[in-house]
Amino acid sequence: MNNDLHGKTALVTGAASGIGKAIALLYGQHGANVMVSDVDETQGQQVAELVKAAGANAHFFKADVGDPVQCLQLVQETVRTFGSLDIACNNAGIGGEMNPTADYSLDGWQQIINVNLNSVFFCLKYELEVMLKQGAGVIVNMASILGQVGTPGSPGYVTAKHGMVGLTKTAALEYASQGIRINAVGPAYIDTPLLSQLSEEVKQQLVHLHPIGRLGRAEEVAQLVIWLSSDKASFVTGSYYPVDGGYLAQ
């Protein structure tokens, strides 16, 4: 176990599978206490048990981050359980409806903006309240390559991720002088359960979008998040870091 986060408490939303699960496990391996949160109670509990099995403290708390009350409860439960909130990774998100803008449903728009953008504001608001009292903290928001560029058929997702990057930069400027660092990570297409509903043919089309010649792995995103969460990144705030196999360089 690498102990560079020993004594710190890390909160991960959307931690039941995929990138969130990889982040929660890696936080634990680096010595942090881990609050695992998701709407999926069964898989979320399993992740918490895996973190414990690796030798770290972990706790699961079910929360729908699209609801501000549940975001507040999640932060309160983290502090109540572990005594502090030092690191937060706001990772929860959905792919949402796939349709051109003119055909995009109003309900689909409301849902994706709520789950992928409003939730980050809700979590940030309550995480920052705790970190300001502590005088220190680190927040990593999980954006996407689509926080920088567009793609046809996903107006809601693209808008939410662009908005998250803007929110990250603004909050980082507001709290840089108060010991709090806030950054965003932008994965390209990562081989996670979020892509499981796609056909093999579509997956191969996605592979070809990446100059590196493959999809990313959740663990590769997690490694970047761990670095940003550690003191090794002590001069880094207000930044957007792609982890994208060259996607944005094209």
Q: Is the dihedral of CA 223, 228, 234, 239 positive or negative?
A: positive
Residue with tokens 């920088």: 148
Catalytic residue, candidates 27, 104, 126, 157: 157
Residue 170: count other Cβ atoms within 10 Å of its Cβ: 12
At 86, the amino acid letter reads: D
**Cα–Cα distance, 32 to 13 (Å, whole number):** 15
Sheet with strand 180-187: strands edge to edge? 58-62, 33-38, 9-12, 87-90, 137-142, 180-187, 240-243
**Cα–Cα distance, 9 to 137 (Å, whole number):** 10
* 189 a catalytic residue: no
Is 31 within 8 Å of 5 (Cβ atoms)?
Answer: yes
Residue in 60, 69, 9 with CA at minimum distance from that of residue 39: 60
**Entry field: residues in the chain:** 250
Residue in 207, 203, 189 with CA at minimum distance from that of residue 243: 189
Active site residues: 157
